Amino acid sequence: MRYELRLTAFDMLDQIHVSAVLYSSPPDDPDLSGRVWATTVTCRGRGTETAKAWTREVLEATLEAL
């Protein structure tokens, strides 16, 4: 089984919005892919100043949605 996770995040004012979608497809026919899981998360931003810290915020919010 092949999995593909698409994670989109953006910061708007003081909110971080995250959309995550997980797709799966059998290895012998990638055209049969289908959505397995999807979620959207909105959390309050912490006002971090580095890209690394902001990415950590996004990933933590996504983990909490699991």
pLDDT, tens digit, for every residue of 2-23? 899 999 999 998 899 999 999 9
Six-digit token string for 1: 């089984």
**First-last CA distance in the chain:** 20
Question: Tokens 């026919």 correspond to what residue?
Answer: 29
pLDDT-based confidence at residue 65 (cuts at 50, 70, 90): confident
pLDDT-based confidence at residue 42 (cuts at 50, 70, 90): very high
DSSP letters, 48-62, are --SHHHHHHHHHHHH
DSSP classification of residue 31: G
Q: What is the pTM of this model?
A: 0.78
What value does the mean pLDDT of the chain take? 90
Question: Tokens 């309050």 correspond to what residue?
Answer: 44
